[in-house]
Structure 1
Amino acid sequence: MSVRVVVRTFSELCITVGALIILFVVYFLFWTGVKAADAAEGEIDTLQSQWAREPLAPAPPPASARTSPAEEPVPSPDQDQDQDQDPDPVPYRAGKPFAMMHIPRFGADWEWPVLENTAVGTLKKGLGHYSGTARPGDTGNFAVAGHRRTYGDPFKDFPELRPGDAVVVNDGTTWFTYRVAKKPYRTVPTDTAVVDPVPRGSGFEDAGRYLTLTTCEPEWGSSHRLIAWAHLDATRPVSEGRPPELSG
């Protein structure tokens, strides 16, 4: 085999490999975003159709975010357990949407559906709720994960979150406004305590109504996680319109 044939074969191989690399990059930078946008839009349409068919349930009383979450009344151990109690809520369905999230810091048009669980397929369609953590507005820790890059880049600007930023969640009956407590915190993927009912490292010390957001770190890797914590600041019935944080 002549040197010319070897050089030509090697050159063709390099061109083929280069083309495959370009296609791979285009897939991750562009096509996954297109697919995620379509999927998220479909989940939003599903939610809106569901909410339009079902009557709105009465919203809970406004959360007194001006007071400490620890000041909530605690039932006495010997309190009559036969008193009327609210029925258990219907469980969320795996991989299905149940709420919308808005973060004004990420842009006026930033809105993503929140789906149940954090499976790979779920996070391709929106944000994922850590199963077993609290529901929006409930006492405990409502924990949500999202991609930083690829599949729509929902948490691309995650490092820009600052104390006091609003994170607004709509479950079809109520707007829940959370306030970010501190700048994002960096940890390892195995640090599951960040989604505990009182998340470790958050600065929260007592039971309350909290929100945890998680995403990958670094921007194009997954060796670590970025975490942002927030506390419930206010609630507003959907029937009263959008909260002021989304009115701008």
Structure 2
Amino acid sequence: MRVVVRTISELCLTVGTLIVLFVVYVLFWTGVKADSAMSHQIDVLQEQWSKGAVNGAPETRPDASKGAGGGGGAATGSPKAPGPYEYGGPFAVMYIPRLGFTWNKPVLEGTATQVLKKGLGHYRGTARLGQEGNFSVAGHRRTYGDPFKDFPQLRRGDAVVLTDGTTWFTYRVDKGPYKTVPSDVEVIDPVPRKSGYTRPGRYLTLTTCDPEWGHSHRLIVWAHLDSTQPVEAGKPAALRR
């Protein structure tokens, strides 16, 4: 009997140790690796931009200020479409002041698990950055750097700013966070049915998992392109403290 009790106790200790190690891995180590990976992706972009190797960069991008709000309007102007995005490669950096003025994440092409370990992922087949349609991006809520941990804090009017190395794109949140299920793929349609938009425009959709440590649902935020400006003009107002 003593041998049985001792064996069971040792098994419990072993299992407990493995559980603690797994939790440490999920909460800490994946975050360390993801932060390093995201920093590397931004370094890659900055090196490309410093050499002028912007993916599909146009010679100029006209100002696209004064987009209409939740009524479905979009910024005016016709920014030249960027070239094809390389799957798994970074092409932009996103800033969301509401999540902190030090918050910035690389945006890569694709939403596979291996891609999302290195940053945010652009849904393939959705609009390209700044173009007419719905530029849609996914990110982890928890693990792998917790990029969208504070996603529920986003509110109407919040700025979501991106740059592709030549242009700053400022989107403004119109609706969200909206809760839905993973099968609701209409949230990334060119004109999302439940977004409140009624006509084609230049939109942004952000998606992440819900609840915080689960994936039974999705949280959605919709925004419209409010303005653009060349990087030579300095940071947009939304990024100035």
TM-score normalised to the size of structure 2?
0.93
SS across alignment from 2:176 = coil
CA drift of 1:40 comes to 0.3
Deviations 1:170-224 (A, max 9, x none): 0111000000002300111011100000012100010000000000000000001
Aligned to 1:233: 226
Q: 1:123–1:147: 8 Å Cα contact kept in structure 2? A: yes
Q: 2:94–2:106: 8 Å Cα contact kept in structure 1? A: yes
1:20 to 13, 18, 29: 18
Counting matched residue pairs gives 234
1:179 to 140, 148, 172: 172
Q: 1:167–1:177: 8 Å Cα contact kept in structure 2? A: yes
CA drift of 1:71 comes to 9.1
Aligned to 1:65: 66
Closer/same/farther in 2, CA of residues 242 and 72 from structure 1, 3 Å limit: closer
Aligned to 1:81: none
CA drift of 1:90 comes to 2.3
One-letter identity of the residue aligned with 1:164: G
One-letter identity of the residue aligned with 2:190: P
One-letter identity of the residue aligned with 2:136: A
SS across alignment from 2:143 = coil
CA drift of 1:57 comes to 4.0
Aligned to 1:45: 43
Aligned to 2:133: 140
Q: 2:181–2:218: 8 Å Cα contact kept in structure 1? A: yes
One-letter identity of the residue aligned with 1:14: C
Closer/same/farther in 2, CA of residues 45 and 205 from structure 1, 3 Å limit: same
Aligned to 2:209: 216
Deviations 1:76-115 (A, max 9, x none): xxxxxxxxxx7x7421100000000000000010000000
One-letter identity of the residue aligned with 2:162: V
SS across alignment from 1:169 = strand
Please list every run of 5 or more consecutive structure 2 residues that lacks an aligned counterpart in the other structure: none
Instruction: Return the alpha-carbon distance in structure 2 between the equivalents of residues 73 and 108 of structure 1.
Output: 28
One-letter identity of the residue aligned with 2:167: T
Q: 1:178–1:234: 8 Å Cα contact kept in structure 2? A: yes
- Identical counterparts, % of pairs: 65
Aligned to 1:54: 52
Q: 1:216–1:223: 8 Å Cα contact kept in structure 2? A: yes
Instruction: Return the alpha-carbon distance in structure 2 between the equivalents of residues 130 and 157 of structure 1.
Output: 21
Instruction: Return the alpha-carbon distance in structure 1 between the equivalents of residues 224 and 141 of structure 2.
Output: 22
Larger radius of gyration: 1
Matched, 1:117 2:110: yes
Aligned to 2:157: 164
Instruction: Return the alpha-carbon distance in structure 2 between the equivalents of residues 239 and 95 of structure 1.
Output: 28
Please list every run of 5 or more consecutive structure 1 residues that lacks an aligned counterpart in the other structure: 75-85
TM-score normalised to the size of structure 1?
0.90
